[in-house]
Structure 1
């Protein structure tokens, strides 16, 4: 198994693959969480490459090799800026995969944990080329999560640096990425969710409520939702194995 540190269009990433893989090998772009970095998800890459999938692990802006040594409060205030930039950079990676002749068909999946799962959800809302996806500890509504984050900060006594009108403007900017408004994608793209029911960072109901709603009104056999009643904001080993198996199965 080869792990190469590369830079694609100013995006540092780990490119993980087997030497015999070629342009017909499916690809997964796997996105890390908030305050994490690309190398922290090498265990996902290992499982996927073992199953015949090439993997790209990029660093998000202000993370890993792109860190600017901001403190956690400063990073919190830039959370949605990071998410939206990451969505743009997924498009860049898709274009680079084709430009470099690494893939000739769009057999590409997107997946991620926490912030990476949130970015994955936004990508599904706007990119039609995604063949399958894995959302671990993510959300299906940017609006709901942004409002939850604001209320959480207020409850902690943290004064936000922007007024209510500015907050609403930010939430409005996130509207195009609300995956709940793209039911056509849910019907066509195989997606696996993993979420711990005791997650206090990105609450379980941020994705599960809408999933249940869709199951009630549609046949959603291509959507799998795995929940663990005692788990918090950390994907279990079993969850990691289920997610990587699902992605490989639907890209094979």
Structure 2
């Protein structure tokens, strides 16, 4: 791996198998298998991210942005191609990913921290700071399945924000919760990504956010890399294309 880069993605391909809806009764009577269609979510995508770079990823819904982040985080496996990371300290901030619904918030903090590569002692040392930042009160000791979407996202954000990793992957969750928490979380995120040793990938539909925070942009269209470069240049081309 080239030491200048924190992330190196080469010829990445990821596909899903989609089973068409069918009637169970009809299927049993006809003894036919359901038709399986393959959807190519990411098609031969290659790019590099320098250490300390803040790269934004844009594209319309269904372009493969979230799929690619999950592959970099190690949640999805590639069908072909390679992903090389300079550090194993990688966090993915994405609503709906990573929590065990039957466990309490406190238990999920411990689980998430250890999955990020921190020791039990390291997570315990940061526990109170995470709980205070999340602002969900007594719910911290209740199962996550009882949480509102706002509480869920607050806790997810707090874990990522306080347990700082070398590579941060952010999927449309830069400001979460109520107005007060949004302001606090956005300020914290700006502070985190300004660290020159931290590498960040941000998926967002907000042109203002991308212009303000990113040093480069990657444009995905229907699973393929359409353009990569300076934020203003890529955004101008993307907005013209979408109009």
More helix by share: 1
More strand by share: 2
Q: Calculate the TM-score normalised by the size of structure 1.
A: 0.30
Q: Calculate the TM-score normalised by the size of structure 2.
A: 0.30
| Bigger Rg over Cα | 2
Higher normalized contact order (CA 8 Å, seq sep 6+, divided by chain length): 2
